[in-house]
Structure 1
Amino acid sequence: MQVLELLRNKKIAVTGAGGYIGSLLVEELSKYSDNIFTVSRRELPQKKYVRQLTGDICTYDTWHKIVSDSDIIYHLGGNTSIYAATKDPSESLNSTLLPINHLIRAARELDRKPRVIFTSTVTLYGLTTCLPVSETQTPNPVTVYDIHKLFAEQQLTQATRLGLFDSVSLRLANVYGPSSSVSSSPDRGILNRVALRALQGQNISLYGDGNYIRDYVFLDDVVRAILLAGAVSGIQGEVFNIGSGVGTTLRRAFELVVDQAEQVTGKRVALESIMWPSGTDPIEFRNFIAQNEKFSKAAGWEPLVSIEDGVKMLVSGCQQEKNRL
């Protein structure tokens, strides 16, 4: 896309670069910029045009280095698990909010104003009843994780209003699709996990009747939205939904995966309905469809991959990965 050419001469940092979304983001960024550096607590595979900063995003020194050498910061690092946040709220608070505090401090002290793209979540809307959900709906978080995400968004918006930097927060729906990395959180990337199980010949468990609705958005569409958020002008201080705009029941999504896995392997696994486990977070009992017109109008972005085509690509990608192992 022509607007992405604006990234070509920028110094770009990516936190969470070794993660499920971050790894593909870096791969796509390298098509536009030869001045990228990744930020991770572990050493990542070497890539052309990509430098590495091994550091902890919960420390100020790391953010001092990031801000001092960046025009655009894609901040994907931090806790991504609702259940981990519930189990250890303090750790979730630190991993979500400390990086934002250090970013703000570094920007103020260095007097630099980078563009900051923050990946948030649509679950902060809570137990929605009126669909589709637009950004005008007041967030009503019901989990510790979502409270922390919302607070991080608000801190970034306030810092933007104060003129410290330009921030954009992207509220992501249910992301799926093949990547060189898998989500480290057991409650993320569910369709990816289902695909791997089906390809391995293992039966698939479906909690309840499977009639709750989700907005499944393909990984490539999400990465393209994240890239655009770093390049498009006039959107500073805004929050945007990033979803397909189409609702799919859990049962339908799982059935699509099972059907496609059968096409690949010649064997069909069973889809078994089981009881929801005790301790399931209430956020699981929700229906959600994103209204995404706001970002479409602002950035010219549209989700391109349907759930049917996306599942085909997901299963194909998982099969290729399985064959390499």
Structure 2
Amino acid sequence: MVQSAGSCVVTGGAGFIGCALSGPLADAGYDVVAVDVLHPQVHERRERPAALDERARLEVADVTDAATWDRLLERLRPDVVVHLAAETGTAQSLTESTRHAHVNVVGTTTMLDALVRHEVLPRRVVLASSRAVYGEGTWVGADGQAVQPGQRSHAVLEAGRWQPEGLRPLPAGDPRMVPAPTSVYGATKLAQEHVLRAWALAVGVEPVVLRLQNVYGAGQSLSNPYTGIVPLFARLARAGEAIPVYEDGAILRDFVHVGDVARALLAAVTQDAVPAGAVDIGSGTATSIHDLARRVAARYDAPPPQVTGRFRDGDVRAAWADVTRAHDELGWSPSVELPEGLEELCAWIDEVQGADIIG
């Protein structure tokens, strides 16, 4: 029998990452309480997900509602909080800014206020942040000088000027990278980081911030139009359609398997030392969107991907992580390579025939 490690509250705990984390947390001896509103955009059937470990207790409640925390903290003293609850659609955040700010920022402050109000301060709060906080990031020229190109405007994108001329991008984790969000979503995630760190250091709670790259894997919501590019490509190819590829196809992303992300979060919960500053979590490999599309199309014998020249306002050209600090400070390294992870995801989609089994 595993010795109890205490209680762990996971906000957004019935979501994709929360479900993947629930088993490892329970295996480590934590009494897991998943707090989730079961939003219909993610949980189509609004019922307990089959992927949520049976040992986890599910509280269907809204993290932005102070009454949620009053009810919960009357009977629970969490040793650790893993804060996953967030609105995540980059494009959606441009048209639903209030919703993203309310959930991501006000939801965080509501939780923190309640912890103080009930005098229930956890040992540690782990925040799942995002690579979106970097925006377009930092690039370097041939002379080695670091440059912040800033957000690509609509006019620049419409003219097909996809990336800064004569510059190459740096990975997240490079010391020259400076957060500069280009989406409302990214701005709210950076605000979460600042709010948590200021609060935690003032009240004596350990803050741990992990900035996640593009997370994918079996169990990802298939009904949510903002769920992620990997399952979207798989669904299109499975239907025999040509995958549309934006810009010139050379957009770079870092696709990290959900199992690896769960291990990183578990390390953030359990290890003794707290990393100094945010830690980037990814596969450590930059993959072009065109390459991803070709891999998925080949898996389903679908037509070749079509480069469309279309674009999304607020999107960034290149994003991937240097995971050296994750290894050094969390003892974590990615273990699932993209071909293996894609096959697992596609096999799962084939099994459920496009049905959303997360909720």
Q: TM-score, normalised by structure 2?
A: 0.80
Match of 2:69 among 38, 43, 63: 63
Alpha-carbon distance in structure 2 between the residues aligned to 1:102 and 1:164:
18
Aligned to 1:265: none
Alpha-carbon distance in structure 2 between the residues aligned to 1:106 and 1:226:
23
Alpha-carbon distance in structure 2 between the residues aligned to 1:66 and 1:171:
27
Q: Contact 1:257–1:311 (CA<8 Å) still a contact in 2?
A: yes
Shifted more, 130-139 versus 15-24: the winner is 130-139
- CA separation of 1:273/1:66 partners in 2, compared to 1, >3 Å: closer, same or farther? same
What amino acid does structure 2 have at the position aligned with 1:170? L
Aligned to 2:211, the other structure's residue is in SS state: strand
Match of 1:165 among 205, 220, 227: 205
Q: Contact 1:20–1:183 (CA<8 Å) still a contact in 2?
A: no
Aligned to 1:212: 251
Aligned to 2:315, the other structure's residue is in SS state: helix
- CA separation of 1:306/1:45 partners in 2, compared to 1, >3 Å: closer, same or farther? closer
Shifted more, 11-20 versus 40-49: the winner is 40-49
Q: Contact 2:233–2:293 (CA<8 Å) still a contact in 1?
A: yes
Q: TM-score, normalised by structure 1?
A: 0.87
Aligned to 2:163: none
What amino acid does structure 2 have at the position aligned with 1:14? V
Residues 262-318 of structure 1: CA deviation (Å, up to 9, x unaligned):
3xxxxx3331221315xx22324x112211111211111000111122212221222
Q: Contact 2:125–2:207 (CA<8 Å) still a contact in 1?
A: yes
Residues 140-176 of structure 1: CA deviation (Å, up to 9, x unaligned):
1111111111111001111121134222111111111
Aligned to 2:203, the other structure's residue is in SS state: coil
Q: Contact 2:251–2:318 (CA<8 Å) still a contact in 1?
A: yes
Q: Contact 2:77–2:120 (CA<8 Å) still a contact in 1?
A: no
**Is 1:35 paired with 2:69?**
no
Q: Contact 1:241–1:290 (CA<8 Å) still a contact in 2?
A: yes
Alpha-carbon distance in structure 2 between the residues aligned to 1:18 and 1:255:
32
Match of 2:313 among 272, 275, 281: 281
Match of 2:344 among 302, 313, 317: 313
Point out where structure 2 has 5 or more consecutive residues left out of the alignment. 39-46, 140-168
Aligned to 1:303: 334
Q: Contact 1:13–1:70 (CA<8 Å) still a contact in 2?
A: yes
Match of 1:203 among 232, 236, 242: 242
Aligned to 2:161: none
Aligned to 1:230: 269
Aligned to 1:116: 125
User: Residue 61 of structure 1: CA displacement?
Assistant: 2.1
Aligned to 1:290: 321
Alpha-carbon distance in structure 2 between the residues aligned to 1:254 and 1:59:
41
Aligned to 1:282, the other structure's residue is in SS state: coil
**Is 1:107 paired with 2:115?**
yes
- CA separation of 1:135/1:102 partners in 2, compared to 1, >3 Å: closer, same or farther? farther
Aligned Cα root-mean-square deviation (Å): 2.3
Alpha-carbon distance in structure 1 between the residues aligned to 2:354 and 2:120:
47
Residues 160-203 of structure 1: CA deviation (Å, up to 9, x unaligned):
21134222111111111111x41665344211121122223222
Alpha-carbon distance in structure 2 between the residues aligned to 1:39 and 1:56:
8
Match of 2:134 among 115, 125, 140: 125
Aligned to 2:94, the other structure's residue is in SS state: helix
| Larger proportion of helix | 1
**Is 1:21 paired with 2:17?**
yes
Alpha-carbon distance in structure 2 between the residues aligned to 1:13 and 1:184:
26
Aligned to 1:88: 96
Alpha-carbon distance in structure 1 between the residues aligned to 2:351 and 2:27:
23
Q: Contact 2:64–2:111 (CA<8 Å) still a contact in 1?
A: no
**Is 1:193 paired with 2:232?**
yes
What amino acid does structure 2 have at the position aligned with 1:176? Y
Alpha-carbon distance in structure 1 between the residues aligned to 2:129 and 2:201:
19
Residues 237-264 of structure 1: CA deviation (Å, up to 9, x unaligned):
73111011111111111111112223xx
Alpha-carbon distance in structure 1 between the residues aligned to 2:245 and 2:181:
25
**Is 1:249 paired with 2:288?**
yes
What amino acid does structure 2 have at the position aligned with 1:283? D
Q: Contact 2:94–2:183 (CA<8 Å) still a contact in 1?
A: yes
Aligned to 2:83: 75
Alpha-carbon distance in structure 2 between the residues aligned to 1:41 and 1:187:
17
Alpha-carbon distance in structure 2 between the residues aligned to 1:165 and 1:135:
27
Point out where structure 1 has 5 or more consecutive residues left out of the alignment. 263-267
Aligned to 2:44: none
Residues 3-48 of structure 1: CA deviation (Å, up to 9, x unaligned):
xx89x42211121122222222223333333621111224424752
